[in-house]
Structure 1
Amino acid sequence: MLVYTFFIKRNFHNQIKSPIFYRYFTKDLNISYIKNPYKADIVMDKYKNRENLNSSQMLIKIEGTQYLANKILYTKVLNNLDQNGGYNGFNSTLFNPPSYSMNFQKIGILTKDEKLFLSRNETGIWIMKPAATYGGTGIQLIRNIESVKQALYQKLNNQTIDAIQDINLKYSSFTLQKYIDKPLLLKGEKKFDYRCYVFYVSSDPLIAVYVPGFIRETMVKYKQDSENLMTHIGNGQFQRAYPNYWKKLRKSSYDMRLFKEKLLDKFPNLKEKDYYNLIDKIKASLAYSIQSAKDKFKQNKGDFQIQGIDIIGWKFL
């Protein structure tokens, strides 16, 4: 099988060439690499000219999954499904913190979400996330929510938007999301997230499979009043600033088998069935998210994709 390596930024080609992956991909799966997409069996996800592919070629990308990856689009499809009654008694308020879409480039007007935000007496700590970035780029903790309200009024009145400190407005679209200030903590008292995966086996018909992943702990103990983003945000972009990060990484990342042990050790009243109930709730959250965006997915025989999902535990138990 031949794979066309089009999107070099993902460093996919170099990973496959490394010893740890080489045998699996080149020997077990019989995959080799070429630079000509027209002769490949599988084409990488950033290849734009789909119409040039022949009927036997597969694309490692399902068009429409961006509605789950882009924060603004994700908030929109979730809200739409919620407003239409949810699905089988389930809705996003059971797993997704309150979120609002913000656009500081549309001067002189307020969007529907911005008006909704101003109409509510929101308090507490929030996170501002650029909609189209990943890996933690541009994320800021907002402790003074009044500054966001002031910035929206500045925008509405065609004034210079300077109320929110440390926010780079070059990212035109943001998601403002309620911060989980009481996260689930294990004995190390460190905040963690769960990186799992959804494997879209097919888009026609749509078949999505849950793939277990691993736990990623922060390098430092959780303190709600800490100003250090390393305490609050688990993305590697922040955690790599910790001294000897790479040496400590092995102990701060571990599989779900060890997580189950740590969870039951921290909470002796829990049983093994409670752990599996937690996993079922995660699966339900993923299924609802996919359900909210499935009408955006383009059906094309043979296309498939793996999508990474980060989950922070808070009310699962």
Structure 2
Amino acid sequence: MRRCRAQAPVWAHERPMGSRREEGLLHQPSLLDQDAALPDTEDAAQPPAALLEGLLLEEPKQPPGAGQGPLFYIGGTNGAAIISSYCKNKGWRRTQDSRCKDYKLKWCEVKCRDSYCSFREGEQLLFQLPNNRLLTTKIGLLCALREYSRVESKVNTQARETQGRRGLEPEGCTGQGTQTWTLTTLPAALSQHWGHLPEQNKRGRTLKMEEFFPETYRLDNRDEREAFFTLFDETQMWICKPTASNQGKGIFLLRSQEEVAALQAKTQSTEDDPSYRRMPFRAPQARVVQRYIQNPLLLEGKKFDVRSYLVIACATPYMVFFAHGYARLTLNLYDPHSCDLSGHLTNQFMQKKSPLYVLLKEDTVWSMDHLNRYINDNFRKVKGLPRDWVFTTFTKRMQQIMAQCFLAVKSKLECKLGYFDLIGCDFLIDENFKVWLLEMNSNPALHTNCQVLKEVIPGLVVETLDLALETFQKSLRCQKMLPLLSQRRLVLLHSGEADLWRRLGGSRSSPCPQPPPPPRAADRPGARRPAPPRGPGGAHGRPSSPGRRPRPPDPGPGGARSGEPERPRAGGRNPAPEPSPGTGTAGEARKGASPRGS
């Protein structure tokens, strides 16, 4: 069996990723910047920048001649200048032809079916997973979290019953009704059905949905709609949102019985309209109603939320990261009784409607350092918070929530080698310092019209592209994903390479799985087959099927490598082997692989 040496595309051998030249253009820290915000111990000692080229460039660097570099396409203006500068610094050429199928990178604001139909796995990079709506629409996220909560509850119930029959106390019991369950306590059938649940439990107790997600009801579901209309009373404020809109479009508040009655009548008339039944695609966008957080924490009397990022750098295997963003403030002081939505919605699109925005726009965006200093100075002693609460407790809670949301949809996402994504996640902190996830957004705003955004956005985009390229190349070459030399400020939330490798029947030290050999002449239809070998005692053994790949062992729940002697490295960064595309083209090599990542 030959050791895998898959041929990476020519464009993968150009300039090293994250080079100082391109980072200098975009005001980025170098790979050796020791002041970068790294996860606790995970990035303790990254190799020098020179090793990045040595790892990724196995062949002599041959920069393409003028006008001969690979093509990239950018659809829309969101972040276009940053992405274009990044690609051109690598010698790539921009095409304006949206129908071009020979691109090496395609970054579009709006997803198009043709882009995914013509996508060549293992040869191209394509921004946005095709069904990221499972996370980035209000209904998609709501349904995913509900199902995750339901199955997790069923798993824990089964585990408690199993422990009760054994007469054992569940691991993680605190004596106060809070229990966590490890891999060994989970029934095998449920582990196979929802294998990623134990992964969350290994890191800590799985959060209950109501602990971080406001109470929400779907208006396109009759039972949920009626339940909301029944429970509504004027002592609580609710907010109504379209499932897939952004920038505050289509949002309104519900405070009175009259407003709710009008919504009820409109929703019912839409449902009864026969034209929408015949052509449902013309029906208005589905909506949700969500309980409004009426006691938000205020900064200088203004409402704010925090935009953070979930980066899916690779989908085969999954490599998922957390990135810090910034705080978004309203221009006006918070008044819960105000009818002006710009005092309730913090995004820049809403704030730009104010005539004061041009003069005060720098006040509408705070860096995470600024937010941390303000909370240290104004709330640490009063509320008894730990020092640097923003970078300790708050950051860990955001990471925990984002990881749980990803795990809730991991098995359903469409994934191919070359897909990557950048998702904006909006969090709100209430006056009791409880953290709420409001929503997740595809194609988050990448504009840099404020100084803080100029410091955050270019670095985020560059590191996302660097990681997408490095993980892409490593997956092609069957190299260990970790450590990632282009990882600077992003924090690893989930590595799925162990899951994918085990499903393909590989091991850490063995070469990449090879495709099955062609059938022998004796195995062709109509050919005479030799008698099967005799087993012990003279009995005929069961004939094996030539050319059939041995079934790999089932991966442990959540990607756990149960039964393997190796232990994870310190700091939680657990290198594991990736699958190999084998010989031939990358697309051919992966035909026998599972279409799911990890």
Name the residue aligned to 1:101.
218
Indicate yes or no: 2:425 matched with 1:309: yes
Bigger mean CA offset, 213-222 vs 289-298: 289-298
Corresponding residue for 2:94? 33
Contact 1:61 1:303 in 2 (8 A): yes
TM-score with structure 2 setting the length: 0.46
Q: Which residue of 2 aligns with 1:58?
A: 125
Structure 2 distance, partners of 1:234, 1:291, is: 28
Is 1:3 the counterpart of 2:120? The answer is: no
Which of 247, 271, 276 is the matching residue for 1:135? Answer: 247
Q: How far is 1:97 from its partner?
A: 0.5
Q: TM-score, with normalisation over the residues of structure 1? A: 0.83
Q: Are the equivalent residues in 1 in contact too, given 2:376–2:389 (CA < 8 A)?
A: no
1:225-236 matches, cutoff 5 A: 225-236=337-348
SS at match of 1:282: helix
Once the two structures are TM-superposed, the CA of residue 170 in structure 1 deviates from its matched residue by 6.8
State how many pairs are aligned. 295
**CA displacement at 1:114 relative to structure 2:** 1.8
Which residue of 326, 333, 339 maps to 1:214?
Answer: 326
Say yes or no: does 1:271 pair with 2:386.
yes
Matches within 5 A, 1:85-234: 85=152, 88=201, 89-103=206-220, 111-118=222-229, 120=231, 123-144=235-256, 147-148=259-260, 151-152=263-264, 171-186=284-299, 188-234=300-346
Residue 124 of structure 2 aligns to which amino acid in structure 1?
Answer: Q
Q: Which residue of 2 aligns with 1:298?
A: 414
Runs (5+) with no aligned partner, structure 1: 104-109, 162-168
Asked if the contact 2:305–2:327 (Cα under 8 Å) also holds between the matched residues in 1, the reply is yes
Secondary structure at the aligned position of 1:38 is classed as coil
Question: CA separation of 1:201/1:157 partners in 2, compared to 1, >3 Å: closer, same or farther?
Answer: closer
Aligned equivalents of 1:151, 1:32: Cα separation in 2 = 51
**Once the two structures are superposed, what CA deviation does each residue of 1:191-250 show, in whole Å capped at 9, x if it has no partner?**
011111111011122221001101111001111112221111112232112223033111
In percent, how many aligned pairs have the same letter? 23
Residue 561 of structure 2: aligned partner: none
- Rounded to whole Å, the distance in 2 between the matches of 1:193 and 1:142 is 21
Tell me, yes or no, if the aligned pair for 1:214 and 1:256 is still in contact at 8 Å.
yes
CA shift in 2, pair 1:172/1:62, >3 Å: closer
Deviates more, 1:40-49 or 1:132-141: 40-49
> Is residue 298 of structure 2 the alignment partner of residue 237 of structure 1?
no
1:59/1:304 contact within 8 Å kept: yes
The offset of 1:277, in angstroms, is 0.8
Aligned to 1:164: none
- Structure number with greater Rg is 2
Query: SS where residue 227 of structure 1 aligns?
Result: coil
- Is 1:283 paired with 2:344? no
- Structure holding more strand per residue: 1
Amino acid at match of 1:227: C
Residue of structure 1 equivalent to 2:146: 79
Q: Which runs of 5 or more structure 2 residues have no equivalent in the other structure? A: 1-69, 154-196, 274-281, 435-598
Question: C-alpha distance in 2, partners of 1:309/1:76?
Answer: 17
Deviates more, 1:37-46 or 1:302-311: 37-46
Structure 1 partner of 2:364: 252
